[in-house]
C-alpha cells in the first residue's frame, strides 16, 4: 500500500530527502507522494522513513493504492532496474 500525505502537512521539508525512491515532491500547497514510486521503503528499510521523521504524523496508508508487501517488493525491483 502506498502512503499519502494529508493536509495536516506543515511543509517542514524533512520527508522529501528521506525517500529512497524519490516519491515525495513539493505539491501546490503540501508535499505529495507518487504512488507509482512509493514502496513504503520496502527493499530499502524496515519502516517507511518519511513516517519515521514526520513531526505531525500526517502520512497514513493510501486507501486508493492497496498493495501487499510482495507487490511493494516487485515495485521496488522495477524501480531499481529502471535506474540501472
What the block records as the C-alpha cell of 65 is 493504492
Q: If pLDDT is split at 50, 70 and 90, which confidence band does 18 have?
A: very high
Among 56, 40, 44, 42, smallest CA distance to 4 is for 40
Q: 28-71 pLDDT, tens per residue? A: 999 999 999 999 999 999 999 999 999 999 999 999 999 999 99
How many degrees, rounded to 5, is the angle at CA 38 between CA 77 and CA 18?
100
Q: How far apart are CA 80 and CA 63, in angstroms?
A: 25
> Residue 30 belongs to what H/E stretch?
none
Residue 18 DSSP class = G
CATH code, 16-83: 3.30.70.20
- Domain regions of the chain by residue span: 16-83
For 23, other C-beta atoms within 10 Å of its C-beta total 22
pTM: 0.93
Q: How far apart are CA 66 and CA 83, in angstroms?
A: 24
Amino acid at each position: 500500500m502506498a502512503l499519502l500525505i494529508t493536509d495536516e502537512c506543515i511543509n517542514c521539508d524533512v520527508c522529501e530527502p528521506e525517500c529512497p525512491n524519490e516519491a515525495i515532491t513539493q505539491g501546490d500547497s503540501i508535499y505529495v507522494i507518487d504512488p507509482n514510486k512509493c514502496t513504503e521503503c520496502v527493499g530499502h528499510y524496515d519502516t517507511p522513513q518519511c513516517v519515521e521523521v514526520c513531526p505531525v504524523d500526517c502520512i497514513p496508508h493510501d486507501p486508493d493504492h492497496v498493495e501487499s508487501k510482495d507487490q511493494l517488493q516487485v515495485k521496488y525491483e522495477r524501480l531499481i532496474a529502471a535506474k540501472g
